[in-house]
């Protein structure tokens, strides 16, 4: 589902974090960056105050999704989502959690209605939302929940970290490490790899995706002597995927699948848990990797970093990952639109 030539829907994220800073800087440099048009779902007063704090003269305009592309050239288009409490940069406040969540909800609704091209989310602070009763581990699970509600079916999200050096995703996402072995099943690995393969073709233009699947245990279990899951859970998943025509290899020892020569042998890696995937992703490209959620009925990207509260309002936060997220959302949605129109 893509909104054609519509603007991207960018959510404000936690208003005390660096999301507002990065959005203002990105818009300010839109011409030399040749950025795709976006509108920001957020509080105009907060944005104006942060621009002044950063010493940036940035015109804001209340917009609609339909006017945003034309507005983007002369002002930062804002779809107002009003905050409850005053914002102090670097000082998160659970009183604003409702508005943070509402901005995400509206971005999804507009994108699923074809009024926005894709969703790009500025960072939220999970603990702040939890403190206000938010019942999901983060955007990834919340987006899948809302999409599933809209479609009347279960939507399984895959959290892909996409950068110039590596694309990688974990099978299990925001669960405690102690719970990972119990959560790993052959079915979950197969489903994750199938979604990854499908979206790499549909939204990344990879004709025949090669997927490298990691083991769980050291040395991928060392033939069972260092753990059983690699042989009893992961290997059957690889066999099932290959029997179904997906070019999957594994289970691979995780410590020798991320150096340059290894990375040249696959299009994306699938790991068993959060840090097994995100450590190499953020080590190889912290400032130019993007968090892209696969498996959704719309495109969603996010910077690969968080709210960096200590940097908010200082002018020192780097906008690179947000810029890459805006560009990737546009590229992914455009690839899907081309694929869909050629299949029609």
Ligand X SMILES: N[C@H](C(=O)O)[C@H](O)COP(=O)(O)O
Ligand Y SMILES: NC(=O)c1ccc[n+]([C@@H]2O[C@H](COP(=O)([O-])OP(=O)(O)OC[C@H]3O[C@@H](n4cnc5c(N)ncnc54)[C@H](O)[C@@H]3O)[C@@H](O)[C@H]2O)c1
Lay out the site mask for ligand Y across 135-164 (x = CB under 6 A, - = otherwise): ----x-------------------------
| Token couple for 115 | 């009024």
DSSP code of residue 157: -
The answer to the question of residue 307 lying near ligand X (CB under 6 A) is no
| Comparison of 318 and 327: residue with beta carbon closer to ligand Y | 318
| Comparison of 214 and 307: residue with beta carbon closer to ligand X | 307
| Comparison of 110 and 322: residue with beta carbon closer to ligand Y | 322
Question: Which of residues 15, 138, 250, 295 is near ligand X by CB under 6 A?
Answer: 138
**Angle between helices 320-343 and 19-28 in degrees, nearest 10:** 70
Q: How far is the C-alpha of 258 from the C-alpha of 317, rounded, in Å? A: 28
Q: How far is the C-alpha of 298 from the C-alpha of 267, rounded, in Å? A: 22
Q: How far is the C-alpha of 21 from the C-alpha of 234, rounded, in Å? A: 43
Query: Is 96 labelled as part of a ligand binding site?
Result: no
The answer to the question of residue 126 lying near ligand Y (CB under 6 A) is yes
Q: Which does 278 bind (CB under 5 to 8 A by kind): ligand Y, ligand X, none?
A: ligand X
Q: Which helix (H) or strand (E) holds 99?
A: helix 97-112
Which listed range, 83-91, 146-154, 292-300, 310-318, lies at the site for ligand Y (CB under 6 A)? 310-318
Query: In the chain, at which residue ranges do the beta strands (DSSP E only) sit?
Result: 8-11, 38-42, 60-62, 76-80, 119-121, 158-162, 167-170, 210-214, 247-252, 268-271, 290-294, 300-303
The answer to the question of residue 304 lying near ligand X (CB under 6 A) is yes
> What are the beta bridge partners of residue 214?
252
> What are the beta bridge partners of residue 67?
none
Shortest Cβ distance from residue 124 to ligand X (Å)? 6
Q: How far is the C-alpha of 146 from the C-alpha of 167, rounded, in Å? A: 25
The answer to the question of residue 217 lying near ligand Y (CB under 6 A) is no
The answer to the question of residue 175 lying near ligand Y (CB under 6 A) is no
Residue closest to ligand X when measured from CB atoms: 138
Shortest Cβ distance from residue 288 to ligand Y (Å)? 11
| Comparison of 220 and 290: residue with beta carbon closer to ligand X | 290
Query: Is 145 labelled as part of a ligand binding site?
Result: no
| Comparison of 128 and 184: residue with beta carbon closer to ligand X | 128
| Token couple for 52 | 């002044």
Query: Is 282 labelled as part of a ligand binding site?
Result: yes
User: Exposed, middle or buried by CB within 10 Å (0-12, 13-18, 19+), for 142?
Assistant: buried
Shortest Cβ distance from residue 81 to ligand X (Å)? 17
The answer to the question of residue 238 lying near ligand Y (CB under 6 A) is no
Q: Which helix (H) or strand (E) holds 105?
A: helix 97-112
Q: Where do contacts with ligand X occur on this chain (CB under 6 A)?
A: 124, 138-140, 278, 291, 302, 304
Residues at the contact surface with ligand Y, assessed by CB under 6 A: 18, 123-127, 139, 291, 302-303, 305-308, 310-311, 317-318
């Amino acid at each position: 589902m893509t909104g054609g030539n519509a603007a991207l829907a960018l959510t404000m994220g936690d208003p005390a974090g660096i999301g507002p800073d990065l959005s203002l800087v990105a818009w300010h440099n839109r011409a030399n960056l040749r950025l795709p048009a976006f509108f920001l779902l957020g509080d105009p007063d907060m944005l104006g105050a942060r621009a002044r704090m950063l010493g940036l003269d940035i015109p804001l305009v209340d917009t609609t999704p339909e006017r945003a592309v034309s507005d983007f050239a002369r002002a930062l288009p804002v779809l107002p989502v009003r905050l409850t409490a005053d914002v102090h940069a670097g000082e998160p406040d659970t009183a604003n959690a409702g508005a943070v969540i509402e901005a995400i909800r509206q971005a999804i609704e507009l994108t699923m209605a074809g009024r926005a091209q894709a969703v790009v989310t500025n960072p939220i602070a999970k603990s702040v939302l939890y403190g206000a009763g938010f019942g999901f581990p983060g955007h990834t699970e919340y987006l899948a929940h809302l999409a599933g509600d809209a479609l009347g079916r279960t939507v399984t999200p895959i959290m892909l970290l996409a950068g110039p050096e590596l694309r990688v995703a974990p099978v299990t996402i925001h669960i405690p490490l102690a719970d990972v072995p119990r959560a790993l099943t052959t079915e979950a690995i197969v489903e994750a790899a199938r979604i990854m393969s499908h979206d790499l073709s549909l939204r990344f233009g990879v004709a025949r995706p090669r997927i490298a699947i990691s083991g769980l245990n050291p040395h991928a279990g060392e033939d069972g002597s260092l753990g059983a899951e690699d042989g009893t859970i992961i290997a059957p998943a690889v066999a099932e995927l290959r029997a179904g025509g997906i070019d999957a290899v594994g289970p691979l020892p995780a410590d020798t699948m991320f150096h340059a020569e290894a990375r040249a042998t696959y299009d994306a890696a699938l790991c068993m848990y959060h840090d097994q995937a995100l450590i190499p992703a953020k080590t190889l490209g912290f400032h130019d990797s993007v968090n892209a959620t696969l498996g959704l009925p719309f495109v969603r990207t996010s910077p690969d970093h968080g709210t960096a509260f200590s940097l908010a309002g200082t002018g020192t936060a780097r906008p690179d990952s947000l810029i890459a997220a805006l560009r990737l959302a546009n590229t992914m949605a455009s690839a899907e639109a081309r694929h869909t129109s050629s299949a029609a």
